[in-house]
Structure 1
Amino acid sequence: MQTFVKVADGVILQTTKGQMKVQVCNTRIIRVVYTLNDDFSSKESLMVVQRDFAPVLWNLEETDQFIEIATEELHLKINKETCAFTYFDRQGKLLMKEPDGGGKHLIPTEVSKTVFAQDTVIKSETSADGVKVRAEDAGTVLDRIAYHWKLEFEWDKNEALYGLGSYEEGIFNYRNHHQYLYQQNMRVVVPCLVSTKGYGLLFDSYSFMTFHDDVYGSYIWSDVNDELDYYFIYGPEFDGIVSGYRYLTGQVPMFPRWAFGYIQSKERYTNQAELISIVQEYRERKIPLDVIVLDWMSWEGNYWGQKSLDPERFPDPEQMMEELHRLNARLMVSIWPNMQNDGPDLLEMKEKGFLLGNQSTYDAFNEEARKLYWKQAHEGLFSKGIDAWWCDCTEPFENDWRGEVKPEPEQRIWLNVGEAKKYIDPQYINAYSLLHSQGIYDGQRATTESKRVVNLTRSGYAGQQRYATITWSGDITAKWDTLKKQIADGLNFCVTGIPYWTLDIGGFFVSKREHAWFWDGDFDAGCEDLGYRELYLRWFQYGTFLPIFRSHGTDTPREVWRFGERGTVFYDTLVKFDYLRYRLIPYIYSLAWQVSSRAYTIMRALPFDFRHDEKTYDIGDQYMFGPAFLVNPVTEPMYYQSGSRRLEGVEKVREVYLPAGTSWYDFWTGEQYQGGQTIKASAGLETMPLYVKAGSIVPMGPKIQYTSEKEDPIELRIYPGADARFELYFDEGDNYNYEKGQYQLITISWDDRKRKLHFSKPTGKGYTGMPEERTFRVLIVAQNHGIGIEETPRVDKVVVYKGQTLTCDF
């Protein structure tokens, strides 16, 4: 360091190799920018929306060796000789340390752009992942000089690291691992890292990146940037880190209530009559359902990616939507960013010059192109009454889904990153989904306030949560190993601050095909195979406790009755867990309000709530679902192998670690256990090990067929052993009036020592259709009392709540 200057919001350091700015964003967040240029970049961030920070008190001190910056919560010590940064909490406890030698590097790199001439050859192919259009033999020219950056760390030996997004390897704790951060089917990048030491790191970069904690060192590397730009976020609890992330990148809008019900999908329903008949079948069988999904190729003829329905197969879209809505179901429709064969949408995009170099994929980085894309989606689909979007293939330039053998990891980087760089500025190849999602969200919000945006998308990026997206994990295979890996993948995605993640229940590819490495399922007979029925059932049990509950895939049907008939264990158990999901809608929808209003996370890796229990750091197949439920999916076969071959001698249990610091109730029996121990939990086919933390309040609704059917009465289960508090939320269910305060929020608290239950006077302005009173059937859970999914016939007290403060003794 040569000199430093104090400015209003931080310090600017002049060094022998460039300059750095340390910006105090608030008492818990510090931004660090390092550049070799004369000026810091003035570009707007695509991920960070909060750059206008309120003034905060902080102190600057200088010693012979260090510059020290201190806020009320954080203390940053900068080595004057090497510019190595070390972060401490206010008690002086070490949080994060760079190597003493410095650890921040900028390396100049040439950035080329592709030149597409008039005679550039455009080739297309149809794959399992849709039509892919590629420009062949295009030339390149030097565009500018940018920088690779590298940031090194010295992590504590007992420190665990999570985040980075959702990938396919099933890594949970990233210590002693590496990861390649590029977008692909089954790979979703979120450049955010969260530590059990109590901090998070958010990297404002959109290029290909790598993470290493291995023989090559401990560092993050990024490919193409103007400068190194990152945020240090102090929690210390994970909820606090997520809150800081959302403060920077945007809050999460509410989904409609129906989005938390069961979503039935498959590849694919083909016409209007079939969609309606499937919903009718669910209603006739009294199996709960809220959403039916229309997958790809709903367009006319070969107009790939056209955002309107084929008039032969969907002769009256408005009437179809009226009938689906009469059945209290919603429709989600698949739309794609790429188009082919000169359909009307493609021709309009081409005429406006809004296509990328393959003359197929629209330019989501262009605001006017996003507006045109929305206009097409609105005119062809939304105006007909459809309810939700499925934005498929939002990492549109994959290049390795071919061949019998899966390419090596480094080959996949070269193939996929190289293909993306051909059409998108290398600095921004990971951000396509972020901008695409913005176009859908902005377009629908500008069109109507009466229908909340729901966008299921296969890719994601930091900040995308503000555009009402659900990310799913891509086209995974039906294997037991995949099921287990997906649990860790989902937890790492949600810990980054993006709360809504889901998957294809049952795996997308169920069978195995030659010459396609990705089509590698273990069950050629599909749902006729008892081995697949067992796997599907376990996946469905797990899916019941995901933020979004959705079945989808190819090769075999996915409707509940395809797995047996009433009276058989597979059918009955699927229906049982579907009903459980619907009984928990009051709990789940209230948590969704917490997500939107308090930066909460529903799907919670165990260190969210048990950071001081180091035994939780490497448990990637258990998690908390909200504050109450400890979810423990079964991830190994116990009854059948593939081919309906019966397994013999397999114990019907799974090991469950009960985190320390609390006691736990078995949801199915009411039996109580002390935390801090591993138990063998009963895991027969009809159940999944499920525990509830002592000091929980769980509101359960009546048995219903769809989420808006009825809310009353609420069965209120109190799990004693500690004080408890729960905020129960209600609103109209599907508009944006909640943003104007039109809701009802009731705080329910339990005093364990006094055995008193308290209902607060509600907050919020109320809403249209709000009942004048609510009935609560209260249970103090004990062994064989207030257990399982069925409504409890004899409760401990019935409380009629009329909007006034109320206290009950037990």
Structure 2
Amino acid sequence: MKMRKKEDDPKAMKKAIIKGKNYRFTVLTEKLIRLEYSEHGTFEDRATQTVINRKFPLPKFEVVERQDQLEIITDHFHLYYTYGPFSKHSLWIDVKNNYSHYRNRWYYGEPFETLKGTARTLDQVDGALPLEEGIQSKNGFSIIDDSKSCILANEETILPREPGQVDLYFFAHGRDYLAGLRDFYTLTGTTPLLPRFTLGNWWSRYWKYDEESYKNLIRRFQKEDIPFSVSVIDMDWHLVDIPEKYGSGWTGYTWNKELFPDPDRFLQWLHNQGMHVTLNVHPADGVRPHEEMYERMAKALGVDVEKEHPIPFDITDKKFRDAYFKFLHHPEEKRGVDFWWIDWQQGTTSKIPGADPLWLLNHFHSLDFQKRRKRPLILSRYAGVGSHRFPIGFSGDTVISWDSYRFQPYFTATASNIGYTWWSHDIGGHFEGEKDDELALRWLQFGVFSPIMRLHSSSSPFNGKEPWRYPEHISNIMKKYLRLRHQFVPYLYTMNWRTHRNEHPLMMPMYYLYPMENEAYEVPNQYFFGSELIVAPVTEKIDRDLQLAPVTLWLPEGNWIDFFTGRMYKGGGKLKLFRGLEQIPIFAKEGAIVPLAKHQPGKNTIENPTELEIIVFPGKSNTFSLYEDDGMSLEYETGHFVETKMEWNWEEKTFTIDSAEGDRSVIPEKRNIWIHFRGVQDWKHVKVQVDGKTIPVKGQYDTETNTYTFIVENWNVKTKLAVQIVDENIMKTEHDYKEGIFQLLNRAQISFPLKDRIYKIVNETDDKWKIIRQLRTMDLSEMLFDAILEELV
């Protein structure tokens, strides 16, 4: 993807335009219209920092012109305009839906309700903060105001907006949230395809490492079998203790040779360990005379070297910008820096009126990568509508607290409402707060099931996120989840591709697929994680008596299978679940197909795997196309990628993996495939064929996860693999509630007589409702009763 694709055109089709002396309306789709008013009668056909494409296919619409009124009508909205300057008296739009009795009409200038979007940063936030507006609304309409965004005369030239112009985009997508998002992306640009390595674990800490201590850290991770794919080196890589006359050492570009005597050697070593590298930069103070590259850069810009004048940061100036990349960034990238963490800037003001320095930095860094045929990649803060073109988002320095953590699942999923899908949080929190091992674990578990998994902490010697800093039982769970993140890369990379193709974001609020269900709007911390899974992070502390934490979630109609245990849950309402430290609620839809990489101890790789695990869930038919390419280049734009279609035919009880279609050179020629059918009973008869020839397989059944597994070794990706399940009844619909209640009571920190009384009631009858009625007569805590109820329903 380029920032502006070849097919993008900021100039709309003439036939879509209805224009007068001072007004112009452009019908982009039957659900999207542009509204312009200009005091001077001039209108903008160039791209803006928000909008880069207006050439949509011509939609169906009707125009009714009268002497005193203009009407524009589509199947989804009816616009009325009585001429003159836009006001609530001259312009209004009826949206054709029945979501409410009185909110279907919008008058110009009146406020409107949305499901919110995102925010620039979570810096120093302890808990929640107000979010900006998004494009999704329960009332069926929303607006993007593009009146003040700057003009992209071309990708290098940014100009201020002409005053006296109104430029709005009215979205009338009802509750078809995915369609609204697709139109938004068509209007504002595509989310770039992230390099594969970004989807693994990131190690980040504000700490004064030196070369040897950093190498020892990575070696310890390797010894502990904890995989990482990205090394984030915070600001102490460069000189920070500089002469006072030059100001603060926050900005810097010169390696601290006392800490890293040979940067080339150090970066090469990290790459040899399978790590990719980003360096933290704070560009705001420009380049001062103490920097190694000062003299060369000063001469290129005509700055008097003898007088030691500093080179001020001015990203609006092309001459400075060219030197900024040539002398400060490209040499480090040649050394081995893969991308940049753009941190602090100079507020929101630049020499171009209306142009935010943050947006300019994000834009020009992304453009610089594209010029050199690289996938655009930065780590930087959100800079307004359209920022999805500049991933990845750094959400800022959050306070370590349950409130901060509790806000992040909602914050991350809701950002999809403005197309922003790749948030990277300081997982575990950055600073302040207090040590809380349970909080650290729960935050990490969410991080594994969030867009970017970046552990981070401040410079306090007590605030590291290394798993071995925690008690052994916590540490072991952390390691398990960090390994799981790398296993999930094949699934995540496929969702990365789907996001790039404007199909759907990785994380979506529940109401995206269930827009008419009120309960879908009442579970803010629950979300879809790709096309196959629902995740509900644990955001409450463990109950001391039960040694379990409560989670309230909503499951839509149908059956849902616990990803970890294989237990089936019936949907159609809210549930109160309880989980120990080792698990969080993750549910697979019926028929879900989840491809994972097989964990290989000691190997720190996220490449297209030779060994695949595919987890298949029963209940319904489904297909899944695993997407793979070289993970780094732009060659996928010319067809150098491969898709492997997997199909689960529930009626015929067959699972097939078709031969890989596309450029097979990007994947291994042969693979070992572990196929797990989860949420099933033990089987006796399975027939496996490769290209029509039956091969012998030996299956195993795991009673703890209700999973039947077999292995196909050395499967050639050019062939078709077919699995036929001969057994009739394969789905495990019954849960051993008596064993579940026993384990619950055995774990609970309550009196032994109470445990005995409860267990006696459970064992005296097989009538679940009788058990519930009897338990209701006992003086049980609400938490204990609810936990038992989960086992019974």
Matched, 1:486 2:408: yes
Partner of 1:393: 344
| Per-residue Cα deviation, 1:193-252 (whole angstroms, up to 9, x for no partner) | 3123555533325579xxxxxxxxxxxxxx996422222345553222222121112112
Structure 2 equivalent of residue 795 of structure 1: 709
Deviation at 1:373, TM superposition (A): 1.9
SS at structure 2 position matched to 1:658: strand
Pairwise CA distance, 1:797: 6.9
Tell me which residue corresponds to 1:22.
25
Cα distance in 1 for residues equivalent to 2:330 and 2:267: 15
Amino acid in the other structure paired with 1:463: G
Task: Please say if 1:608 is aligned against 2:517.
Answer: no
Q: How far apart, in 1, do the equivalents of 2:53 and 2:378 lie?
A: 23
Give the superposition deviation at 1:703: 0.6
**1:201 partnered with 2:157:** no
Q: Is the 8 A contact 2:197 2:229 kept in 1?
A: yes
Deviation at 1:697, TM superposition (A): 0.8
SS at match of 1:363: coil
1:323 matched to 2:221: no
Query: 1: distance between equivalents of 2:327 and 2:110?
Result: 46
Q: Which moved further from structure 2: 535-544 or 664-673?
A: 664-673
Amino acid at match of 1:285: E
Q: Deviations over 1:723-776 (max 9, x none)?
A: 2221101122222211221111112222222223233454433334x3223343
SS of equivalent to 1:550: strand
State the secondary structure of the residue aligned to 1:165: coil
Q: 1:627 aligns with which of 504, 515, 531?
A: 531
Report if aligned partners of 2:701, 2:707 keep a CA contact under 8 Å in 1. Answer: no
Alignment check: 8 A CA contact 1:476 1:507 kept = yes
Residues 796/314 of structure 1: CA separation in 2 closer, same or farther (3 Å cut): closer
Distance 1:767 1:201 in 2: 46
1:116-265 counterparts in 2 under 5 A?
151-153=109-111, 161-165=115-119, 168=122, 179=130, 192-205=134-147, 226-235=164-173, 236-265=175-204
Among candidates 467, 484, 501, match of residue 423 of structure 2: 501
Which residue in 1 is equivalent to 2:76? 74
- Report what 1:339 is aligned to: 285
The CA deviation at 1:440 is 1.5
Shift of 1:780: 2.5
Q: Deviations over 1:552-572 (max 9, x none)?
A: 12123434344236xx11110
Structure 1 residues 441, 229: closer, same or farther in 2, change over 3 A? Answer: same
Contact 1:477 1:508 in 2 (8 A): yes
Which residue identity lines up with residue 455 of structure 1 in the other structure? I
Give the Cα separation in 1 of the matches to 2:357 and 2:126: 24
- Please name the residue that 2:386 is paired with: 463
What is the letter of the counterpart of residue 163 of structure 1?
Answer: G
CA RMSD of aligned residues (A): 3.6
Q: Is the 8 A contact 1:271 1:314 kept in 2?
A: yes
The farther-off stretch of 723-732 and 23-32 is 23-32
Which residue number in structure 2 is paired with residue 31 of structure 1?
Answer: 34
* Aligned counterparts of 1:696 and 1:465: Cα–Cα separation in 2: 28
- The structure-2 alpha-carbon separation of the partners of 1:662 and 1:292, relative to structure 1 and needing over 3 Å to count, comes to same
Q: Which amino acid is 1:299 matched to? A: H
Paired position in structure 1 for 2:690: none
Residue 547 of structure 1 corresponds to: 451
How far has the Cα of 1:718 moved from its partner? 1.6
Of 348, 351, 366, the residue aligned with 2:317 is 366
Structure 1 counterpart of 2:49, which letter?
L
Query: Is the CA contact (8 Å cut-off) linking 1:30 and 1:232 kept in structure 2?
Result: yes
Aligned mate of 2:566, from 661, 670, 674:
670
Show the counterpart of 1:412: none
* CA spacing shift, 1:730–1:379, aligned 2, 3 Å: closer
Residue 486 to residue 708, structure 1, CA distance change in 2 (3 Å): closer
Q: Which residue of 2 aligns with 1:744?
A: 642
Q: CA 1:740 to 1:534, structure 2 compared with 1: closer, same or farther past 3 Å?
A: same
Aligned residues: 658
| TM-score, L = length of structure 1 | 0.74
User: What is the aligned partner in structure 1 of residue 470 from structure 2?
Assistant: 564
Corresponding position: 1:809 with 2:724: yes
- The verdict on how the C-alpha distance between 1:153 and 1:378 changes in structure 2, with shifts beyond 3 A counting, is closer
Q: Partner letter of residue 136 of structure 2? A: V
Which of 216, 235, 241 matches 1:296?
A: 235
Hey, what does 1:766 align to over in structure 2? Answer: 664
Distance (Å, rounded) in 2 between the aligned partners of 1:97 and 1:153: 14
Deviations 1:513-532 (A, max 9, x none): xxxxxxxx2x1xxxxx4xx2
* Residue 694 (1) aligns with residue 590 (2): yes
2-structure distance, mates of 1:709, 1:274: 27
**Structure 2 length-normalised TM:** 0.75
Q: Counterpart in 2 of 1:110?
A: none
Over 3 Å counting, the alpha-carbon distance change for 1:225 and 1:498 in structure 2 is farther
Q: Secondary structure at the match of 1:195?
A: coil
- Aligned partner of 1:733 in structure 2 is 631
Bigger mean CA deviation after superposition, 53-62 or 791-800: 791-800
Amino acid aligned to 1:550: R
Name which one, 1 or 2, has greater alpha-carbon Rg: 2
Q: Deviations over 1:459-498 (max 9, x none)?
A: 333223323x211211110011111112222222232112
Q: How does 1:618-657 map to 2 (within 5 A)?
A: 618-638=522-542, 648-649=544-545, 652-657=548-553
Q: Give distance in 2, aligned partners of 1:97 and 1:439.
A: 45
Partners of 2:201 and 2:229 within 8 A in 1: yes
Q: What is the deviation of 1:672?
A: 0.9
Give the letter for the 1:30 counterpart.
Answer: I
Aligned 8 A contact 2:555 2:575 in 1: no
Counterpart of 2:650, as a letter, is D
| Inter-CA distance 194–171: structure 2 relative to 1 (3 Å threshold) | farther
CA–CA distance in 2 between the matches of 1:227 and 1:670? 58
1:704-743 equivalences under 5 Å are 704=600, 705-708=603-606, 711-743=609-641
Report the AA paired with residue 613 of structure 2.
Answer: E
Equivalent residue letter for 1:78: Y
> Equivalent residues in 2 for 1:347-386 (5 A)?
348=297, 352=301, 362-386=313-337
1:88 corresponds to: 95
1: CA distance, partners of 2:611 / 2:533: 22
- Conservation of the 8 A alpha-carbon contact between 1:166 and 1:493: no
Give the Å deviation of 1:282: 0.9
- Looking at structure 2, the residues matched to 63 and 755 of structure 1 have their Cα atoms a distance apart, in angstroms, of 63
What SS does the aligned partner of 1:318 have? helix
Closer, same or farther: CA 199–477 of 1 in aligned 2, 3 Å: same
Q: d(CA) in 1 for partners of 2:301 and 2:552?
A: 58
**Which residue does 1:416 correspond to in 2?**
none
1:319 & 1:652 partners in 2: Cα distance?
Answer: 48
- Indicate the structure with greater strand content: 1
Once the two structures are TM-superposed, the CA of residue 778 in structure 1 deviates from its matched residue by: 2.4
The answer to whether the aligner puts 1:683 opposite 2:579 as a matched pair is yes
Residue 119 of structure 2 aligns to a residue whose secondary structure is strand
C-alpha deviation, 1:280, in angstroms:
1.4
Residue 276 of structure 1: SS of its match in structure 2? helix
Letter in 2 for 1:194: Q
Q: Distance in 2 between matches of 1:808 and 1:766?
A: 23
Q: Take 2:318 and 2:385, find their aligned partners in 1: how far apart are those partners?
A: 19
Unmatched runs of 5 consecutive residues or more in structure 2: 1-12, 84-88, 151-160, 243-248, 304-308, 683-699, 726-793
Structure 2: how far apart are the matches of 1:240 and 1:360? 47
**Alignment partner of 2:253: what SS?**
coil
Task: Report Cα offsets for 1:545-593 as digits up to 9, x if no partner.
Answer: 111100112123434344236xx11110100111111221111111111
Higher helix share: 2
Give the alignment partner of residue 493 of structure 2, picking from 589, 600, 622. 589
